[in-house]
A and B are shown apart, each in its own frame.
Chain A
Amino acid sequence: MPLSPQEVEHIAKLARLQLTDEQKARYREQLEAILEHVAKLQELDTKDVSPTASVSVGQMPLREDEPRPSLSKDELLKNAPKQDDGQFQIPPVFE
């Protein structure tokens, strides 16, 4: 399953990953090998097979819709690399 350098570039962009040229070349080669193995799935006729998205069995009732305390804002902000005035701080989104 050949992948073009442009496709690898495109996937990295979709996934928000900055990769070096060396990484791009290596992942291209490795993904090609994995996709070649995965191509085996095309052997099977699945025209009449429905997809499985979940293997949950039995009832999965929703929890009671009752108000309850959530985690504290301070506690959640403690892990942020940058915070200000009770909010996560990020660089400008618009110039």
Chain B
Amino acid sequence: MGEYTIGRGNSTREIAAMTSTPSYMANYLPILIQFVLALALALGLIVASRLIGQRRPGKIKLSPYECGMTPKGDVRSGFAVKFYLVAIVFILFDIEAVFLLPWAVEFRRLRVLGLVEMIVYIAIVLAGFTYIWKRGVLDWNTPERNEPTLPPSVARTGNH
């Protein structure tokens, strides 16, 4: 599919020999080249703007943007535990998805057996999914049960 020739053609044997020579690891060489060139490009852009761009720093210019307010408090402090929970749940489901990959590739040979295996597997994981759903981990707009609490941005003010 999609094989056409410009210039001198080759016999099938020659072509087979040539297509097989870029060995297994050699196929990864271009990725390395692309990575290195992309890195060079990124660093080059940063250096270029450093060299060419103007530099007139000032105290107010360098202060963090806060819609004109004087920034208060430490930015990098604490956030809702939800974000952290989502990351944990994501890991577990991500591993499940990874197991699905070889299963999907192999599916045509596994047939019904594979289907049953995977349904059992998904069912057990889904039990956990139902649990986190019922516990409200996936709800992002539930009203706080323990009023009153402070939003972190407010809570942190005056901390430092």
* A and B interact: no
